[in-house]
């Protein structure tokens, strides 16, 4: 079979293993049981393709999906059947409530203003409308503040027309299992939920699934762990790798001792070196902070990235790699099982979330697995 022409034309190939995502989901669901397990698909499933990921996870039994923005929910809705709930974490922007009902989306209500808007929309619709209410348990980012919670619980009409599906909050330090903030937030969340004994609750992100069971409540919300990012800082990663990023070699050259590579002469050869230029750069999300620090893998051999990362290319020291392996168009691994997303993030002085969500639109994308 002839190679795919788009694949042949591309500068790099991003492969997403949908079977690995399904395996990761099963592991998280088993740890969280009897709580239900959702999937967070915000930022296009952390850059990996929300429609493809949602289809695979729906086949795995997932029926609760979270996105960040209204437009993300609208884009996702055609990709999952009507029995799957799509929750929008940022809630309704002003005067967009009708878009939620039109596209069968459920808002997470984060403020008194959002509650009032949804209440008015329910009245206009003449029917009860479902929503999740988020309360702030200490992260100081989103959700009703304690005084707003008190006002809500003192007002019997506060949720008129709103069917409260879950009470929700979010942990700030769950990846650090011994961090005292975890217990503090849990106690605050429990205290609010105790005033709503019949309400289902959602508290745990990926990392909190690996905390004790009392963090799990009724619905857990994994995101990063689904995509292979380590959920617990400093511990072995139990998740399957999901992503493989392969860049294509453009050309190679031999440089003598004293010659320089890249912008600002960030690298100077101390002896003769063989250099390969690969067509991936910071415009593709390959973070410039890795200049002179990154690496690639060629047939299991780690080769250093040298010089500054450019907009459209990087340079590798491939001295010692057989020349026939370095022909134009040959692939080198930038993310793989031997050099994971978390390893790349450490070199870039960031987190795996940023590495994944920065992966650019220029890659040719392939999906493997994912079938029922």
Residues marked active site are found at 42, 263
Element (H, E) at 30: helix 18-32
| Cα gap 310→317, rounded to integer Å | 16
| CA triple 184-196-215, angle to 5 deg | 35
| Cα gap 341→246, rounded to integer Å | 13
| Cα gap 50→100, rounded to integer Å | 19
Between β-strands 314-317 and 273-278, what pairing exists: parallel, antiparallel or unpaired?
antiparallel
Q: What SS3 class is residue 262? A: coil
Between β-strands 260-261 and 267-268, what pairing exists: parallel, antiparallel or unpaired?
antiparallel
CB 224 within 8 A of CB 352: yes
The closest of 167, 166, 165, 161 to 117, measured between CA atoms, is: 161
Half-sphere CA count of 88, side-chain side, radius 13 A: 26
CB 237 within 8 A of CB 230: yes
| Cα gap 206→183, rounded to integer Å | 16
């Amino acid at each position: 079979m002839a190679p795919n022409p788009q694949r042949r034309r591309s500068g790099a190939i991003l492969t997403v293993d949908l079977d690995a995502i399904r395996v990761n989901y099963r592991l998280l669901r088993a740890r969280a049981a009897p709580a239900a397990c959702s999937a967070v698909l915000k930022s296009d499933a952390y850059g990996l393709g929300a429609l493809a990921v949602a289809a695979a996870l729906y086949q795995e039994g997932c029926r609760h999906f979270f996105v960040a923005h209204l437009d993300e929910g609208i884009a996702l809705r055609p990709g999952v059947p009507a029995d799957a709930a799509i929750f929008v974490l940022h809630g309704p922007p002003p005067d967009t409530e009708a878009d939620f009902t039109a596209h069968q989306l459920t808002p997470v209500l984060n403020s008194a203003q959002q509650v009032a808007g949804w209440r008015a929309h329910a009245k206009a619709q003449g029917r009860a409308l479902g929503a999740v209410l988020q309360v702030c348990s200490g992260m100081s980012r989103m959700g009703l503040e304690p005084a707003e919670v008190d006002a809500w619980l003192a007002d019997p009409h506060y949720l008129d027309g709103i069917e409260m599906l879950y009470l929700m909050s979010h942990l700030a330090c769950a990846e650090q299992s011994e961090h005292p903030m975890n217990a503090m937030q849990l106690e605050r969340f429990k205290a609010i939920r105790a005033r709503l004994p019949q309400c289902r609750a959602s508290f745990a992100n990926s990392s909190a699934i690996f905390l004790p069971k009392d963090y799990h409540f009724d619905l857990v919300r994994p995101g990063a762990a689904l995509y292979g990012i380590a959920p617990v800082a400093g511990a072995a990663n139990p998740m399957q790798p999901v992503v493989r990023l392969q860049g294509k070699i453009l050309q190679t050259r031999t440089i003598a001792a004293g010659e320089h590579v890249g912008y600002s002469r960030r690298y100077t050869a101390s002896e003769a070196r063989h250099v390969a230029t690969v067509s991936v750069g910071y415009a593709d999300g390959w973070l410039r902070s890795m200049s002179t620090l990154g690496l690639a893998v060629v047939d299991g051999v780690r080769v250093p990235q040298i010089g500054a990362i450019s907009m459209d290319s990087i340079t590798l020291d491939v001295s010692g790699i057989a020349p026939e392996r370095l022909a134009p168009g040959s692939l080198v691994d930038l993310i793989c099982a031997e050099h994971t997303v978390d390893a790349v993030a450490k070199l870039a002085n960031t987190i795996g979330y940023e590495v994944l969500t920065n992966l650019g639109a220029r890659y040719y994308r392939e999906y493997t697995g994912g079938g029922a």
